[in-house]
Structure 1
Amino acid sequence: MMKELPASAKAVVIGGGIIGCSTAYHLGKLGLTDTVLLERKKLTSGTTFHAAGLVGQLRTSANITQLLGYSVDLYKKLEAETGLGTGWKMNGGLRLACNEERWTEVKRQATTAHSFGLEMHLLNPKEAQDLWPLMQIDDLVGAAFLPTDGQANPSDITQALAKGARMAGVSIFEDTEVLDLEIDKGKIRAVITNRGRIECEKVVVCAGQWTRNFASRFGVNVPLVSVQHQYMITEAFGVPSNLPTLRDPDRLTYYKEEVGGLVMGGYEPNPIGCFETGIPDGFHYTLLDSNFDHFEPIMELALGRVPALETAGIKQLLNGPESFTPDGNFILGEAPELKNFYVGAGFNAFGIASGGGAGMALAEWVAKGEAPYDLWPVDIRRFGRPHFDTDWVRTRTYEAYGKHYTMAWPFEEHASGRPARKSPLYDRLKAQGACFGEKLGWERPNWFADLAKGEEARDIYTYGRQNWFGAVGREHQAAREQAVLFDQTSFAKFSLKGSDAENALQWIAANNVAKPVGSLIYTQMLNDKGGIEADLTCARVAEDEYYIVTGTGFATHDFDWIARNIPSGMNASLVDVTSAWSVLSLMGPKARDILASVTSADVSNAALPFGKFKTIGIAGAPVRALRITYVGELGYELHLPVEYASSVYELLMEKGRAFGLSNAGYRAIESLRLEKGYRAWGSDIGPDHTPVEAGLGWAVKMKSNVAFRGREAIQRQNETGVKKMLAGFVVDDPSIVLLGRETIYRNGKRAGWLTSGGFGYTVGKPIGYGYVRNPEGVTADYVLEGDYELEVATERVKARVSLAPFHDPENRNVKL
């Protein structure tokens, strides 16, 4: 007889794969024993049962690496805790390199591992073969070995997590299908199942490839699609049980030992999707038909590495559907469209590696209303408008799948699904040599080729100096010496309006927004720990209205943060007005002269000082001219209705020619801001960094008595000090390429890693930023008194530190 469903629960987890069971396990550990997990069939019967089970840890984000490391720590102890076997083996993981560019990538990955405190060793071909005797090494340049990587049995781990959840008091119900959610005025009231109704406040959807369709019924967008993924299982042929897992990305393949044989799979460049018209009813413990023809190229690549596969018996070619996402990262967090609707899905065939950590993070999110640390690379709010179209999602996801093992080039752009969102100037700029990048579907000029000199507007990827290095240098110099025009139409823009707009924004913003109409306020928005959740500009356009501008990629995230934090009862509404406004940023010493030549309005420093804006007329357009800069030169962001963009652009370029005005792109913005020490959210600053740590304390209204979210945390830091501080680093050797994640050494000891890196063309040197860390505390003197090196692709280079901008025309703060 089946156990009766409870009438109510605090949280309901939907889906009994590894992610759902891990989330339920951790909710139980956090004391939310009033949690129910519902599985429509049997635990693991969706996609978990056919996962390959490799557990690797290294990612390009410190926090995602930490999350995967948590999985390893959990899997080590789970069997002892629950009494159920997990198949966990910490037999290490090997990653091969078969050419010099891949070897550079591996060396940079080794440096990243060192930055994040993960043990990783570089091996020569013979050392790698000693660890993995089955492989041929004639094409090998080297390999990396991570001793703490391993492998597990996915179904066994999931059952152990389920038992651990039950031991903590969580109720698990199999053969219980969720039919609907009961939602009243935007609030979740209950889950409706084929066995009855469960009243609840919070729902956690961990339904794998079923998640997108289920969530869309309630207005929630989860960008993932199903892709066929095949791997082969051989008969036993004497493979030692302690063999490390092996990834051979140049041959697109991976391997693990299984009962004396091998599991071998790969990521083909031409993936095959499935379920494009919907997942069949009753699909559980079900595999797809094996496709030997499609697997044959992978098999050929594998035979070159492991010749013994030619004579090994084939037990099975397993073909299972897996959910993949448009950027190859999984999806976690509370949906921006519906409060208390949480998602853990889209694990791109590394759900077993992620399962322990993802379940922990999701449970913390559910229990405490926020993630345990910054998880922006996997946050559901990184998506936006293009991701509502399943056809677009599928096109981009197939590209991401095909790149799973290809080189992860610096500055690499996706090619599929483009162009999607275009500025009115797209065709004009393309004709002038623009090489575009893409963010959240928007086409954005990264740099401009000199077509007259035969330059091609195309990125050629490398780990060395990029082919656009000189072109960006030209744009950088023009911004410093004459003037440039950036098309920044893709900025996300919101209108906050209502009689309580000022009071609401004073609570949400760390800086003082109670300024007169016509004022610009640069501000952070903080969480309760003082961490920076948003970094943006507010223009006060009326007593009851603010115009808020933030980065292209943060449209969903920042809108969600602001909207959720408007205090209840206040009359203030937030509207996304991104598509209504184009932005032309006019920057450089000649910017005022050019602006004055196209308008009759007074744009003198007295009439339009820094930190102010005014509406002026240009070519018949009402233009909000914001006196602000992210490049460290005199500048104006010109915000104007989209329909005027072409006319205003043409007039600016025509009149600006006499002043040396030229086009410029986002890569120049990056090099210019590095010289001036401007912070970038998502790299230099984020939820794990406070304004005090980031050198932005001047933008926090601590001298006033105005309450704002995060104030108490900032007050505590001001009183007790900090344990990390953002600093700039410069390297004298101009050939060194800094990309971010290089390890910082202070007085010979590891002290952090670079959060961003690039080249400063005016100072003529590589520049990076990163937090100098010390558990005993960090002060400005501590930072400046240190002797620094940076580890770049495992080599250490001397670096000099500064807490001031590296480009200072009067040379007041920096000696280069």
Structure 2
Amino acid sequence: MAGPRVVIIGAGVVGAALADELSSRGWTELTVVDQGPLPATGGSSSHAPGLVFQANPSKTMTELARYTVEKLSTLDVDGQPCFLQVGGLEVATTPERLTDLRRRHGWLTSWGVEGRLVDPDACLALHPLLNRDRVLGGLLVPTDGLAKAVLAVEAQLRAARARGVRLLERHEVLDIRTEADDTTDGDRVTAVVTDRGEIPADLVVCCAGIWGPKVARMVGMSLPLTPLAHQLAWTGPLPALAGQTEEAVRPILRHQDADLYYRDRHDRLGIGFYGHRPMPVSADDIAPVDSSPDMPSVLRFTADDFAEAWTETQSLLPATRDAKVEEGINGLFSFTTDGMPLLGPSPDVKGFWVAEAVWVTHSAGVGRAMAEWLVDGHCSSFDLHACDVNRFEPHQLAPAYVLARDCRNFVEVYDILHPLEPAGAPRPLRTSPFHVRERELGAFFLEASGWERPQWYEANEPLLDRWDIPVPGDWAARMWSPIVGAEALATREGVALYDMSALKRLEVSGRGAAAFLQRLTTSDVDKSVGSVTYTLMLDENGGIRSDITVARLARRRFQIGANGNLDLDWFTRHLPADGSVAVRDITAGTCCIGLWGPKAREVLQPLADADFSNEGLRYFRARSAHIGAVPVTALRLSYVGELGWELYTGADMGLKLWDTLWEAAQPYGGIAAGRGAFNSLRLEKGYRAFGTDMGHEHDPYEAGLGFAVKTGKGDFIGRAALERRAADVRRRLTCLTIDDPGAVVMGKEPVYDGDRPVGYVTSAAYGYTIGKGIAYAWLPAELATPGRALDIGYFDLRIAAVVAEEPLFDPGMRRLRGLAGDAR
């Protein structure tokens, strides 16, 4: 098949990789267009230093990098290799960095990449230029190396051209033509307009890199991307490297304590520096190729900004003391607000796609991922939910927000960041109606989708007199307080208010709403008014796109508890063309309190004008009511495993709802509780979190969510693939418990069976009710047997863990259903 007419804008490492991958899958009606000369077009790829380090806290990013290494290692241009696999060495010069290298080694082990920790002598043997007195240890990844970006572009474009792909250099894109699309309310692409004519197109993929925001605006799309200058300098010849004929013989080197990296170039060294001030540039201000003296992505080197880097380099690598910095650039690279790429289709213009904010490290992997997505309708090799360009909330596209967060990510690119590290300015952005009360109670806030969300409340410190809360190790004790444990136990014994306003809320309505939701979900949601259903949404490959709750509030109106903007995007893309269904984001205009605990009914019933008894409102049912003067929609759900309700009202009445419930809860010892307690309680109950415990790469049976699949209801997206996958479950999301109260892990740690790494941790917390640490982990199915002894790699420790039956708390569901009895 020739495939649709595709125009790829940008012939850097991403555009070249995509052209190669698409054409290898039979799509040959491809045109690659770039304003510069091929293969060095003048963008970031043309000056990229080429360092490929695979260690990353994101499994997806590591896998994209691994594929890039594997592919580029097979490519050459007239005998010149496109990848020099010299290995990668990260060194520590502080105890904190040495500890962090152990964490990074854990990521590599979790994601299946070879790496090993090495002592200072081994570091010196690997890289003899190092100052032995400065180095405390290192992390070696033998498969890392140097990507020759321009050669990689040429090799992949040659392969694409041989399959019939058309390459157009020196064609500046001026506009993208669109016309009304008969199947949607939006437009669709028809052509790319260049200074040398129009190119007809059914699909346009923007791989323009630092020009990406400018190109995307041609179809009215905002990209949260900022080009920032990054310093790269080259020394003159080093006597210690005299006679080195090969371009690189030593591992690429990172000195992240000082925001530095190094690479060989024959008898010279390249020095990259992230420690200088952020230097953002607007995509509109980047010079055209023909008017730039060197290349548009290269700005004048600012020597003053590099002074600190040179001083530190001479200390770490004494051989450089006899050399000088002979050349340097401030090269432009793309940064995003969360450090992840921007991949996927436009939400408004059919046929316009982006593959942006991708560095050389991940380029070939992204090329493959995008090719699969375009050809098959989904990506089967990588879980791209964290890279999807449609993941952002509206405020995250505001220019001021984008600039501030992109600059922060530049500053923090080599920093040691805790997984719960709160975001910096601009904050606060989104606050619930309860925020004023939460501040009065001394809330410690973290951020969720821009919302200020309490992690715990200092006002609950007196609760510590009632319980002896175990203190975890140093890393887990950051962004933590023993109050978290007290709030969890207080919830189990009494009643607590949880701010659930950060939960995404959608309204689906219209005459076709029920059929629409039946098609998109795995459960039967076409039930009576007042029903609430936990269900999944799948892609065509049977992978989990999201888990949601669907509350039928009227015959033609449903409220959805969603995970984020990707769910809204998925719903919108699948709307029927006949206008029979409308989807609306109601999050900003509403708020939610979770009122949970064994005394929740004693608090709520006297306030209500409706029956909230077990018979009056059963588990997983919804109703409208008044709580005092406040109209609410009450859903009898509980993600902490206790009796209670999610209570929704308009934002205008939110504070009144809080005050009403708070006053009524005080005689019962009611408290406000934060996300730290919530996470502990939900893991005791075995509830999964999308994006943490599971994603697109997993199916319901692997994830322990087969109960949410109702094959008898008829067809739904992903059903056919799911039926195939159900017969071959090779891995399972598994509950592990840890006896040592101080050994609380954080997630992403490797799991070992003896000395063999077999899986990785997803969510983890201490279970204050059960008195054990809890870690959910992906394991081979044959190891997911209760009682099986395993180990978790945590920094330089091995923590003993045991596979446990789940749920750990209330297996008979008595607490949730408001029945008496011991839940443990």
TM range (shorter): over 0.9
Partner of 1:764: 771
Partner SS state of residue 490, structure 1: coil
- Per-residue CA deviations over 1:608-643 (Å, capped at 9, x if unaligned) read 111011111124221001100111111211110000
Partner SS state of residue 655, structure 1: helix
Say whether 1:659 aligns with 2:659: no
Question: Structure 1's 438 and 705: CA in aligned 2 closer, same or farther, altered over 3 A?
Answer: closer
Question: Structure 1's 280 and 424: CA in aligned 2 closer, same or farther, altered over 3 A?
Answer: farther
Contact conserved, 1:221 with 1:387, CA < 8 A, in 2? no
Say whether 1:92 aligns with 2:102: no
Say whether 1:802 aligns with 2:815: no
Partner SS state of residue 757, structure 1: strand
Partner of 1:321: 332
Question: Structure 1's 100 and 10: CA in aligned 2 closer, same or farther, altered over 3 A?
Answer: same
Q: Which runs of 4+ in 1 moved over 6 A?
A: 451-455, 809-812
Partner SS state of residue 498, structure 2: strand
Say whether 1:308 aligns with 2:294: no
Contact conserved, 1:9 with 1:36, CA < 8 A, in 2? no
Question: Structure 1's 667 and 40: CA in aligned 2 closer, same or farther, altered over 3 A?
Answer: same
In structure 2, distance between residues paired with 1:407 and 1:120: 19
Partner of 1:249: 256
Partner SS state of residue 151, structure 2: helix
In structure 2, distance between residues paired with 1:546 and 1:213: 39
Partner SS state of residue 656, structure 1: helix
Contact conserved, 1:211 with 1:345, CA < 8 A, in 2? yes
Superposed CA RMSD in Å reads 2.5
Equivalent position to 2:532, from 499, 513, 520: 520
Partner of 2:74: 77
Partner of 1:194: 195
Matches within 5 A, 1:405-424: 405-424=414-433
Say whether 1:176 aligns with 2:176: no
Matches within 5 A, 1:620-631: 620-631=629-640
Contact conserved, 1:92 with 1:244, CA < 8 A, in 2? yes
Alpha-carbon deviation of 1:603? 1.2
Partner of 2:55: 58
Runs (5+) with no aligned partner, structure 1: 1-6
In structure 1, distance between residues paired with 2:271 and 2:473: 29
Partner SS state of residue 408, structure 1: coil
Contact conserved, 1:342 with 1:366, CA < 8 A, in 2? no
Alpha-carbon deviation of 1:119? 0.8
Partner SS state of residue 232, structure 2: strand
Equivalent position to 1:482, from 494, 503, 519: 494
In structure 2, distance between residues paired with 1:545 and 1:413: 37
Runs (5+) with no aligned partner, structure 2: 181-186, 465-471, 815-821
Contact conserved, 1:412 with 1:461, CA < 8 A, in 2? no
Amino acid at match of 2:793: E
Question: Structure 1's 8 and 532: CA in aligned 2 closer, same or farther, altered over 3 A?
Answer: closer
Matches within 5 A, 1:551-562: 551=563, 554=564, 556-562=565-571
Alpha-carbon deviation of 1:434? 1.0
In structure 1, distance between residues paired with 2:138 and 2:528: 61
In structure 1, distance between residues paired with 2:348 and 2:769: 45
Contact conserved, 1:9 with 1:199, CA < 8 A, in 2? no
Partner SS state of residue 386, structure 2: helix
In structure 2, distance between residues paired with 1:735 and 1:99: 25
Matches within 5 A, 1:720-739: 720-739=727-746
Matches within 5 A, 1:205-354: 205-237=206-238, 238-239=240-241, 241-268=248-275, 270-275=277-282, 278-282=285-289, 285-286=295-296, 287-347=298-358, 351-354=359-362
Amino acid at match of 2:680: S
Contact conserved, 2:473 with 2:743, CA < 8 A, in 1? no
Partner SS state of residue 783, structure 1: coil
In structure 1, distance between residues paired with 2:518 and 2:433: 35
Matches within 5 A, 1:255-654: 255-268=262-275, 270-275=277-282, 278-282=285-289, 285-286=295-296, 287-347=298-358, 351-372=359-380, 373-450=382-459, 463-466=475-478, 468-551=480-563, 554=564, 556-569=565-578, 571-654=580-663
In structure 1, distance between residues paired with 2:476 and 2:703: 29
Alpha-carbon deviation of 1:209? 1.4
Partner of 2:721: 713
Partner SS state of residue 363, structure 1: helix
In structure 2, distance between residues paired with 1:624 and 1:392: 33
Amino acid at match of 2:414: Y
Question: Structure 1's 137 and 635: CA in aligned 2 closer, same or farther, altered over 3 A?
Answer: farther
Alpha-carbon deviation of 1:381? 2.4
Amino acid at match of 2:48: A
Alpha-carbon deviation of 1:95? 0.8
User: TM-score, structure 1 length as denominator?
Assistant: 0.93
Contact conserved, 1:731 with 1:767, CA < 8 A, in 2? yes
- Per-residue CA deviations over 1:41-78 (Å, capped at 9, x if unaligned) read 22431221121110111211223211111111111111
Partner SS state of residue 796, structure 1: strand
Amino acid at match of 1:739: M
Partner SS state of residue 482, structure 2: helix
Alpha-carbon deviation of 1:479? 1.4
Contact conserved, 2:788 with 2:802, CA < 8 A, in 1? no
Partner of 1:3: none
Amino acid at match of 2:255: D
Contact conserved, 1:208 with 1:323, CA < 8 A, in 2? yes
Amino acid at match of 2:190: R
- Per-residue CA deviations over 1:648-668 (Å, capped at 9, x if unaligned) read 111111111111111111122
Partner of 1:110: 105
Amino acid at match of 2:342: I
Alpha-carbon deviation of 1:750? 2.9
Amino acid at match of 1:506: Q
Amino acid at match of 2:47: H
In structure 2, distance between residues paired with 1:8 and 1:602: 60
In structure 2, distance between residues paired with 1:167 and 1:463: 53
Alpha-carbon deviation of 1:756? 1.8
Amino acid at match of 2:117: L
Question: Structure 1's 579 and 815: CA in aligned 2 closer, same or farther, altered over 3 A?
Answer: closer
Partner of 1:124: 119
Amino acid at match of 1:595: L
Partner of 1:4: none
In structure 1, distance between residues paired with 2:442 and 2:74: 57
In structure 2, distance between residues paired with 1:486 and 1:214: 43
- Per-residue CA deviations over 1:671-721 (Å, capped at 9, x if unaligned) read 11111110010121211111111111111112x241111222333344x24
Percent identity of paired positions between Structure 1 and Structure 2: 33
Contact conserved, 1:746 with 1:786, CA < 8 A, in 2? no
Contact conserved, 2:207 with 2:356, CA < 8 A, in 1? yes
- Per-residue CA deviations over 1:444-469 (Å, capped at 9, x if unaligned) read 112222387799xxxx9952423623
In structure 1, distance between residues paired with 2:627 and 2:313: 63
Partner SS state of residue 579, structure 1: coil
Alpha-carbon deviation of 1:84? 5.9
In structure 1, distance between residues paired with 2:792 and 2:619: 36
Alpha-carbon deviation of 1:815? 13
Contact conserved, 2:65 with 2:361, CA < 8 A, in 1? yes
In structure 2, distance between residues paired with 1:482 and 1:705: 40
Partner SS state of residue 506, structure 2: strand
Contact conserved, 1:104 with 1:463, CA < 8 A, in 2? no
Alpha-carbon deviation of 1:8? 11
Alpha-carbon deviation of 1:785? 6.5
Contact conserved, 2:4 with 2:27, CA < 8 A, in 1? no
Partner SS state of residue 651, structure 1: helix
